Amino acid sequence: MDVNFVTHKDPHDRFGALITYGERNIHIPDDALISITLGEQFSVWKTMVNAMISQFVMKQMKKSKGLLYAEMKGHIKEGYGLTLTV
């Protein structure tokens, strides 16, 4: 099964987006590693740089054999970026 990243945009908010990989409702194995990374209080410039770097990270995530689910969320005006991987 080929899984791809899907962008979920809020039509009422053009400054933020959620990108997911896989299904959120999954069985998490006992030996799973869950990673959460949050960057906040970024200036607009740093948020844009973070978004560009996230594009490279997404390409590397797809190469991980054990990746079950990934979620990346960011907002330019609010100045944050969040990455969650299982």
Q: What is the pLDDT of residue 77?
A: 84
Q: Starting at the earlier edge strand, list the strands of the sheet with 5-8.
A: 5-8, 16-21, 70-75, 80-85, 35-40
Q: What is the pLDDT of residue 47?
A: 77
**pLDDT tens digits for 29-78?**
999 999 998 888 888 788 778 778 888 888 888 888 888 999 989 888 88
Q: What is the pTM of this model?
A: 0.80
Contact 19, 72 (CB under 8 A): yes
Q: What is the pLDDT of residue 1?
A: 53
Number of neighbours of residue 38 by Cβ within 10 angstroms: 10
User: Residue 5: how many CA atoms within 13 Å on its side-chain side?
Assistant: 20
Domain boundaries, the chain: 5-85
Residues in the chain: 86
Contact 40, 34 (CB under 8 A): no
Q: What is the pLDDT of residue 34?
A: 92
